[in-house]
Amino acid sequence: LRIDAAEIVVARLPLRFRFETSFGVQTEKRIPLLVLHGDGLQGVAEGAMEPAPMFREETVAGALSLLRDVFLPRVLGRTFANPEALEAALGTFRGNRMARAMVEMAAWDLWGRRLGVPLGTLLGGTKTEVEVGVSLGIQPDEAATVETVRRHVEQGYRRIKLKIKPGWDVQPVRAVREAFPDIRLTVDANSAYTLADASRLRALDAYNLTYIEQPLAWDDLVDHAELGRRLQTPLCLDESIATAADARKGLALGAAQVINIKVARVGGHAEARRVHDVAASFGAPVWCGGMLESGVGRAHNIHLSTLPNFRLPGDTSSASRYWDRDLIREPLEAVDGVMPVPAGAGTGVTLDREYLAEVAETHEELRP
C-alpha cells in the first residue's frame, strides 16, 4: 500500500431539504474529500465533520489543518503492509478520529482497488445489499411530520427515525405511531436532554420505539446507564461512542443496548469493525449511521454495513434524497428499503471530477 500523493478538496453542495435537529437547521453541506494516490490508483474518503463543533468536537477547519500539517506528512511517500498498518502509524495521536478516518478510509479504498476486491469483502462482510431506513428532521407541526413519514414509508424505507428535542418529542411520536401502528420507529435527540428529563423520556415507552438514540450528553455513559434503568425502551448511543473501548464500557454499564456505528466517528473501518465485534460479543445489534454524506462517504458506509452484526436498518438512504447531483458517477438508490452494495473494487464508486471542479471551493495537492 504505497502513498505517493494526496489531494484535499472541499466541495459545497446545497441539500434538497431543510434538515432540522436539536442543534439547529442545515440547508447545505461543506464536504471535505481526501484522495490518496498510489501505484497509479486512487482511494477516496469523505470527512464527516461539520464547520462548527456541534455534533462532536471536530470541525472542517481543524481537520484540514491536521491533515496538512500532521497526519498526511506521516503517510506520504511511505509504503504500508495494509490499511491496519497505516492506521497504526496514526495511532499515536489522540482523538480527532473523523480527521484520521479520512486517511484510513481512503487507504482502504486504495487497497481494495489494488487487490481488485470490494471493500465490504475485504472487511469480512458478505451481504450484497443492505436494509436502510431514513432519518427525518424536525418538521413544523404534527401534520407535516405524519405526511413526511408517509412519503418515506411509501418509498419502502425499513425504519423511520424522527429527530426530537425538548418540547418536540411525545407529540410527533404519538401522531406518527397513531397513523402507522406497525412501522419500525426510532427517535434521535442528539444529546438534547439531561437526566432531569427522565420522566418526559419515559413517556416515550408507550410508543413501541425500537430504541431512543443519544438522549443525553455527547460525552456521557454513566447518566445513560441510569436513564436505561428508568426506561423500558432500549437506548442506542451515537455521539458517545468514539472507540471500541467506549462501546465495551457503554454496553457493560447498560448505557446502551444498541450501537450506531459511523465509520468516520470512530476513526475508520478498522475501529468500526472492532466496535461491531465488541457489540456482537455483548449480543447487541449495531446499525450504520450517516452524517448527510455525499456518495463518497455513503459508499464506505454501505460496504461496512455488509458485516453480519449490522442487524438493524442503517441511515444510508438514497443519494437522490439529499442532492440534485452527487459527487460520484454511480447512483446509490435504495429500492423498497434495500440498498445494493456497489460492485467493483474498493468502494466501487468513482468521483465525478467534472462536477467536483464546479462545486469545489478549494483544491490542493500534497506530496512528500
Backbone angles phi, psi at 20, to 5 degrees: -105, 130
Write the DSSP string, 143-185.
HHHHHHHHHHHHTT-S-EEEE-BTTBSHHHHHHHHHH-TTS-E
Specify the pairing of strand 258-261 against strand 286-288: parallel
Told to check if 352 binds ligand OSB by CB under 6 A, we report: no
Told to check if 287 binds ligand OSB by CB under 6 A, we report: no
Find the shortest distance in angstroms from Cβ 289 to Mg ion.
Answer: 6
What x-and-dash track marks residues 227-246 binding Mg ion by CB under 5 A?
-----------x--------
For residue 149, give every residue at least 6 positions away whose Cβ sits within 8 Å of its Cβ, in sequence order, or none. 136, 160, 162, 176, 179, 180, 183
Residues in the chain: 368
Told to check if 190 binds ligand OSB by CB under 6 A, we report: yes
Specify the pairing of strand 134-136 against strand 160-163: parallel
CA distances (Å), origin 136, targets 5, 156, 231: 39, 14, 24
163 tagged catalytic? yes
Q: Which is nearer to ligand OSB, 4 or 57 (CB)?
A: 57
How many residues touch Mg ion under the rule CB under 5 A: the total is: 3
Give the binding range for Mg ion (CB under 5 A) out of 3-11, 41-49, 181-189, 251-259: 181-189
- From 29, 127, 163, 249, active-site residue: 163
d(CA 272, CA 252): 18
Chosen residue from 32, 267, 289, 337 binding ligand OSB by CB under 6 A: 289
Percent helix, strand and coil across the chain, each to the nearest 5: 35, 25, 40
* Partner from ligand OSB, Mg ion, none contacting 292, C-beta within 5 to 8 A by type: ligand OSB
Told to check if 125 binds ligand OSB by CB under 6 A, we report: no
Helices 269-281 and 244-253 sit at what angle, rounded to 10 degrees?
A: 20
Told to check if 319 binds ligand OSB by CB under 6 A, we report: no
Chosen residue from 37, 55, 247, 296 binding ligand OSB by CB under 6 A: 55
d(CA 156, CA 339): 11
Backbone angles phi, psi at 133, to 5 degrees: -115, -165
Told to check if 290 binds ligand OSB by CB under 6 A, we report: yes
| 41-46: strand order across its sheet | 41-46, 24-38, 5-21, 360-366
Find the shortest distance in angstroms from Cβ 237 to Mg ion.
Answer: 9
Q: Which is nearer to ligand OSB, 207 or 218 (CB)?
A: 218
Told to check if 291 binds ligand OSB by CB under 6 A, we report: yes
262 tagged catalytic? yes
Give the binding range for ligand OSB (CB under 6 A) out of 75-83, 115-123, 244-252, 287-295: 287-295
Tell me the catalytic residues: 163, 262
Residue numbers of the site for ligand OSB (CB under 6 A)?
55, 135, 188, 190, 238, 289-292, 315, 317
